[in-house]
Amino acid sequence: MKIENLQKGIDQQDILQDINLTFKQGEIVGLIGRNGSGKTTFFRSLAGHYELDQGKIFINQEDIQINKILRQKIFYIDEQYNFLSSYSLNKLLFFYQHAYAGFNKEKYLSLTKKNKLHPHLKYRAMSKGMQGLYKTILAICSNAEYLLLDEPLDGLDVIVKKNVLGILLDDVSENNRSIIISSHNLNELESIIDRALILKHTRIQLDYHLEALRENARKIQLVFKTKKVPTLVKENSQLLHFQGRVITAVFENYTEELKTLIQAEQPILFEELPLTLEDVFEANLANKNEVNSLGGVIL
């Protein structure tokens, strides 16, 4: 899927601007952004709920706004606005089976049976966790090529969460589809995503491939003799915490050469800490200053 120059405004306010992205099949992408940053608007725009102000979405080089049937390759259930609550699972199966030409009924029946989701159960009668699990089952059974999952793990208990993640990961390993997940729970995302998109100020500010990030970036805790942070550190990192003389910073393009240069500044403490997605998120989104120094592809 290729998104070109997507723009969407709501009530004379720009929500999304200049969104240019490509989603490859078989990758799990995390869409990260603060509340109100436009993650749901992005999904709704892709799913056709919102008309685009500008831009094009291509699947297999075809514009989905022209060839509408391509929308069947995208699966999205809106968290806030969906019709599921008034129907039983049986009827929902009917709707989704007819909505998606490639719907895998056998898999659906096996997964619902395994998870004790009775066909006559009303969707609204299920717990939030069960609803989340059910939506995940619908998503993977739709056999759509692109699954858009909006906070799929939000509010689920540990057992259900593991179950949902298990179903998703099994599916990705079996099928070559692309999953785009928005979430605030960065620790959970980190364990499953291949790529992270950071949405801020109406734009995708950063596009990380986690493998590359893990290879190149480091989170380092440093203590220098004086409170003054060496220029070398300032220029090559994003400061996460600065307490007394203790500095925690994320370094982009961390190399052996940079390590030697930092050590030349004779720090009292030099300790490499595990770099998490949360650190990246915090460094980029929690800061008031514009992000331009981390190791993602700056868009």
Binding site for other proteins (CB under 8 A): 10-12, 41, 44, 47-51, 68-72, 74-76, 78, 81-83, 86, 91, 94-95, 98-99, 101
**Residues whose CB falls within 8 Å of the CB of residue 296, separated by 6 or more in sequence, listed in order:** 196, 198, 205, 206, 207, 208, 213, 280, 284
Q: Where are the alpha helices (DSSP H) in 197-241?
A: 210-216, 231-236
Q: Which is nearer to other proteins, 44 or 219 (CB)?
A: 44
Q: Which is nearer to other proteins, 53 or 252 (CB)?
A: 53
Please name the residues in contact with 193: beta carbons below 8 A apart, sequence gap of 6 or more.
28, 29, 30, 181, 210, 277
The whole-angstrom separation of Cα 197 and Cα 206 is 6
Task: State the nearest-atom distance from the C-beta of 16 to other proteins, in Å.
Answer: 12
Q: How far is the CB of 33 from other proteins (least distance, A)?
A: 18
3-state helix, strand, coil in the chain (%, to 5): 35, 30, 35
Q: Identify how many contiguous H helices and E strands the chain contains and give both numbers.
A: 10, 15
CA 144 – CA 100 distance, rounded (Å)? 7
Minimum distance from residue 124 beta carbon to other proteins (Å): 12
* Pick 105 or 225: Cβ nearer other proteins: 105
> Which residue, chain included where needed, has tokens 């906070």?
151
Least distance in angstroms from the C-beta of 2 to other proteins: 18
Question: Per residue in 145-172, is it b (16+ CB within 10 Å) or e — as a string?
Answer: bbbbbbbbbeebeeebbebbbebbeebb
Compare residues 47 and 258 and give the one whose CB is closer to other proteins: 47
| Least Cβ distance, residue 51 to other proteins (angstroms) | 4
Q: Which is nearer to other proteins, 145 or 188 (CB)?
A: 145
CA separation for the pair 263, 131 (Å, rounded)? 53
Of 99 and 299, nearer to other proteins (C-beta) is: 99
CB of 180 to other proteins, least distance (A): 15
